[in-house]
Structure 1
Amino acid sequence: MTARAIDRAGETTPRPGHRLTTGHRLVLGSASPARLSTLRAAGLDPEVIVSGVDEDGVEAASPAALAATLARLKAEAVAARLTARPPAARRPTKGPATGTTIVIGCDSVLELDGIAYGRPRSAEAARAGWRRMRGTTGILHTGHRVIVLSAGSGAPSGDHTGETGTAGTGAADTGAAETASTVEVRAATGIGSTVVHFASPTDEEIDAYVATGEPQRVAGGFTLDGLGGAFVDGVEGDPHNVVGISLPLLRGLLHGLGISWIDLWQ
């Protein structure tokens, strides 16, 4: 099965009671403004590094597996880019050098009748998709991949949930010499699946919605937190997952990797 997946997902002031910690560098490997705003609203303040992964031709056994595969590829691409830079080229972390770097990769696909649908590539595709979806029920799958790199360096190895390993690092971009080191790498993968009940918008409403351009930017051609929310009757499961990142799932993955959620509050 082949499908284009989606990247869909302001800054907040510190909230009373939040613990300001500086031991971790948090990186979101996604260009999705919705994912970024969801994390910020939850008290996290990640920097954004877009993976640049070519999603065309990526195949998996199911829509859920496709979302997980693409999330893994994106997170590992960002982690590899971070570790390839020599010290002088690396962006300063928000915490001390002894902290960890946490890379989060996500990707979403909509499953309808066992078929995976990503972001519509044209207005015609978005229009056809909505005429297919209206009055039906689908499942929005979001794959999550978390990679924890000790001391901000290292490279991910393998693709197993909850894996632990080691990796060597060295200079790559400029040819400058860098002393190789061996660091711990921990990674975990999770899939969030939320049932979505679509309303039955009229042809006129579909045409007007497609004309806004919003459906062409998101997974399955709809949003829960935008103009498309009026055309969704309800969801079963985590609504954040439909927006593009499941906060409860992410918290659980981080906990399994030894990272406390509240230590990431800013």
Structure 2
Amino acid sequence: MSAPQFVLASASSARRQLLLNAGVQPFVSPSKFDEDQITLDEPDALVKALSLGKAEAVAPLFPNAVVLGCDSVLAFDGEIYGKPETPDAAIKRWWKMRGKVGELLTGHTLIAPAARKTITRCQVTRVHFAWVSDREIEDYVATGEPMNCAGAFTIDGKGGFFVEKLEGCHTNVIGLSMPMLRDMLGELGYRVTDFWSA
């Protein structure tokens, strides 16, 4: 079966870059989905609902495409963290996280409107944070990088210095589990290689 257009319903440059690095040229169509309408206490259910909402908002615009929606949060010490709202909030979050372990969850939804199929999954990766000094935390937050990330950190940027170990899928922490995406495309009847650009 020939592959349809692949649409990424996200403005995330990290997700787009993961796909490009893997040979997939996505058409980027950021969702205007209102995330505040979803209020769930379970991180697994939350990221799945958010990824579904984003994909469903974009899918009608691309009836012959495969549309991917994603959303990530960090579950830490009984709380759910998305992007920090202020630098002060990011600093206080890092004070709690340093030297401890959290779980980065990413919801993935694939919609194939032509086939009338929707698949939603969640990937979980355990993140071991390094013990970081107050000065390092302040300097890191001052770069602005943590302000754009669930959990206030990245592993593919400056934040990579402050993560000691990952248990599970590492690309999931960047925002998109590539092995999970492959499996989900398979459920829709495609091979991931069908989407490789020439």
TM > 0.5 between the two? yes
Q: 1:101 aligns with which of 65, 76, 99?
A: 65
Q: Distance in 1 between matches of 2:192 and 2:123?
A: 18
Unaligned runs of 5+ in 2: none
Contact 1:64 1:109 in 2 (8 A): no
Aligned to 1:149: 113
Aligned to 1:187: 118
Identity %: 46
Paired amino acid for 1:149: P
The alignment status of 1:239 with 2:170, answered yes or no, reads: yes
Aligned to 1:29: 9
**For 1:59, what is the secondary structure of its paired residue?**
coil
**For 1:144, what is the secondary structure of its paired residue?**
strand
The alignment status of 1:137 with 2:101, answered yes or no, reads: yes
Aligned to 1:121: 85
Deviation (angstroms), 1:52: 1.0
Instruction: Give me the CA root mean square deviation.
Output: 1.3
Q: 1:262 to 1:82 in 2, by over 3 A?
A: closer
Deviations, residues 8-55 of structure 1 (Å, cap 9, x unaligned): xxxxxxxxxxxxx96410000000000000011111000100001121
Q: 1:45 aligns with which of 4, 25, 42?
A: 25
Q: Distance in 2 between matches of 1:225 and 1:77?
A: 28
Aligned to 1:219: 150
Q: Distance in 2 between matches of 1:23 and 1:239?
A: 26
Q: 1:210 aligns with which of 132, 141, 152?
A: 141
Aligned to 1:75: 55
Q: Distance in 2 between matches of 1:65 and 1:113?
A: 17
Paired amino acid for 1:254: L
Deviation (angstroms), 1:57: 4.0
The TM-score, its normalising length taken from structure 1, stands at 0.72
User: Higher helix share goes to which structure?
Assistant: 2
Paired amino acid for 1:231: F
Q: Distance in 1 between matches of 2:163 and 2:88?
A: 20
Larger Rg: 1
Paired amino acid for 1:67: V
The TM-score, its normalising length taken from structure 2, stands at 0.96
Q: 2:43 aligns with which of 63, 83, 87?
A: 63
Q: Distance in 1 between matches of 2:122 and 2:176?
A: 10
Give the 4+ runs in structure 1 shifted more than 3 A.
none
Deviations, residues 123-179 of structure 1 (Å, cap 9, x unaligned): 0111111001101100000000000122xxxxxxxxxxxxxxxxxxxxxxxxxxxxx
Paired amino acid for 1:79: A
Q: Distance in 1 between matches of 2:112 and 2:37?
A: 28
Contact 2:3 2:190 in 1 (8 A): no
Segment of structure 1 superposing worse, 187-196 or 57-66: 57-66
Unaligned runs of 5+ in 1: 1-20, 84-99, 151-183
Deviation (angstroms), 1:61: 4.0
Contact 2:60 2:113 in 1 (8 A): no
